[in-house]
Amino acid sequence: MPPPLLALSGVSKSFGAVAALRDVRLELYAGEAHALIGENGAGKSTLVKILAGVHAPDEGTVTLDGRPLVLRGPADARDAGIAVIYQEPTLFPDLSVAENIFMGRQPLRGLRRVDRARMRAMAAELFERLGVRLDPDRPARGLSIADQQLVEIAKAISLDARVLVMDEPTAALSGVEVDRLFAVARSVRDAGAAVLFISHRFDEVFALCERITVMRDGQWISTDPAAELTVDQAVRRMVGREVSTLFPKQQTTVGDPRLEVRGLTRHGVFADVGFTVRAGEIVALAGLVGAGRSEVSRAVFGVDRYDAGEVLVDGRRLPNGDTGAAIRAGLALVPEDRRQQGLVMELSVERNATLPRRWSLSWGGLLLGGAERRSAATWTQALRVKAARLADPVSTLSGGNQQKVVLAKWLATSPRVLIVDEPTRGIDIGTKAEVHRLLSQLAADGVAVLMVSSELPEVLGMADRVLVMHEGRLAADIPRDRADEESVMLAATGQAGRA
């Protein structure tokens, strides 16, 4: 076997107290597509960012052609011939599509001026190769997630890279677009480049890749030829235990409708979304990135206004765009991005945990320390938050514990309807199970739970019903006994009617 084109060995990387990668190895060969699989939080994206020169490894080495490679920044990685398509598109909304593709390496004409005409022609040529019709002069603002991803792909192939890294590039693409992407990836590979492909979809992994590496909890688990690995083996290695034990959803008796959403529309974001969540029920809202799930949950909670439709809690209509009224009616929202939206990072654990109830805990507007501390202590113990002291800033906690503080903060308000957006993103498996146990317990106590989640095992394990969104519309409402990976993915990619 020839020596690897690109190799990582003994790579470790920590962020504060959290170890994202521990002693990871990876070998990519020229002319070969290599899959990297693992659960969310397994460290795949951190590894990608090391290859992209965004993060420098704390320990370990990266070699290219057997020579050590030190990347001081993304420009270094680009110059070394490493092209990266990120999970989330990173475009400049104000600039044209062509400029987005060639930023920093625009074709030049005399006096080192940017040659706009040639840049436009080159962009058009790339889109032709990808088989899409995008106007190179159009600004990137307003492009759908799928079109943004296509621009990213065009950018990556324009580099003629020796190593092409694709971090879940297909999450937002339709079937036709995925086929085209794969055709391009294969031609890149056959031209002698090494391809690293990250995906949650096993059919894609097995269709494209010759070799598969599994990661779990920031560690390398295994690397095998694709032909010698089955999906079941791969899943067991990713999860590290039997899937069924992970999601302890209890059977509950479903009660009266708690949350009713009718004809909810926000122009250009989602349209005519209607559903009901009953007491004791966990309803999952599934769909691809950018399908409008978080936007719906934000509109229901009153963070964003909607243009048409209505939201009812226990039969009473909520005013549009009024979070205060939503909280008073018994709604609670655990947002997707806990650092930005769920917590005030500089404040202490106890302040964060009691923030929504500062009025009921206060005495004539005065917050007396005792009440706050006692309440925070009760709830953080109930959720087993691991914090040195409750007075410490919440930013010192690990991701999983931060998420528990967000949950504690809202559970203490005794919500009647709990909306959780990606409740277990980026937290370790142990905490994940605890969060699931907690959601299940809440439902058993009669809370109506609406769970937005991108993790299919979580959706399938936890939900009594699965609502699937596709391009801003509700594409399917699947009961628990009929929900499986296939039915949800088909609806999420807009194929439900055609299948």
Partner 1 sequence: MTVTQNRPGVQAERGTRLVRRTFAVRELGILLALVVLVAATTIANPRFLSAQNVKDLLLGSTILAILAVGQAVVVITRNVDLSVGSILGLSAFATGSVFLAAPGLPIPVMLVIGTALGAVLGAVNGGLIAAARVPALVVTLGTLYVFRGLDYMWATGRQINAADMPAGFLKMGTATVLGVPVLALFAVVVLVVVGYYTANYRSGRELYALGSDPAAARLSGIPTGRRILYAFVTSGALAGLAGVLYSARFGTVDANAGQGMELNVVAAVVVGGVAIFGGSGSVYGAALGAVLLTTIRAALPVLGINVFWQDAAVGALILAAIGLDRALSARVGRSLRERKAHV
Q: Would you give the distance in Å from CA 188 to the centre of its chain?
A: 27
Nearer Cβ to partner 1, position 96 or 401?
Answer: 96
> Distance between CA atoms of 249 and 256, rounded to whole angstroms?
20
Q: Would you give the distance in Å from CA 154 to the centre of its chain?
A: 22
Nearer Cβ to partner 1, position 220 or 270?
Answer: 270
Q: Which residues bind partner 1 (CB under 8 A)?
A: 52-54, 73-78, 86, 90-95, 99, 103-106, 108, 112-114, 131-135, 137-139, 141-144, 147, 174, 176-177, 267-269, 271, 471-472
Nearer Cβ to partner 1, position 58 or 135?
Answer: 135
> Distance between CA atoms of 112 and 110, rounded to whole angstroms?
5
Measured from the CB of residue 142, what is the shortest distance to partner 1 in angstroms? 3
Measured from the CB of residue 351, what is the shortest distance to partner 1 in angstroms? 25
Q: What is the dihedral of CA 128, 87, 209, 60, to 10 degrees?
A: 130
Checking 98-103 for CB contacts under 8 A at 24+ apart, the result is 98/122, 98/123, 98/136, 98/137, 100/140, 100/151, 100/155, 101/126, 101/136, 101/151, 101/154, 101/155, 101/158, 102/155, 102/158
Measured from the CB of residue 46, what is the shortest distance to partner 1 in angstroms? 15
Give the H or E element holding residue 400: helix 399-411
Measured from the CB of residue 93, what is the shortest distance to partner 1 in angstroms? 6
Nearer Cβ to partner 1, position 294 or 348?
Answer: 294
Measured from the CB of residue 124, what is the shortest distance to partner 1 in angstroms? 11
Measured from the CB of residue 75, what is the shortest distance to partner 1 in angstroms? 3
Nearer Cβ to partner 1, position 25 or 141?
Answer: 141
Nearer Cβ to partner 1, position 362 or 495?
Answer: 495
For Cα atoms 261, 265, 268, give the angle at the middle one, nearest 5 degrees: 150
Give the H or E element holding residue 418: strand 417-421
Token code pair at residue 224: 């095998």
63 vs 26, 28, 37, 163, 344, CA distance in Å? Answer: 11, 10, 22, 12, 41
Nearer Cβ to partner 1, position 70 or 108?
Answer: 108
Residue 373 φ then ψ, to 5° = -65, -45
Measured from the CB of residue 121, what is the shortest distance to partner 1 in angstroms? 16
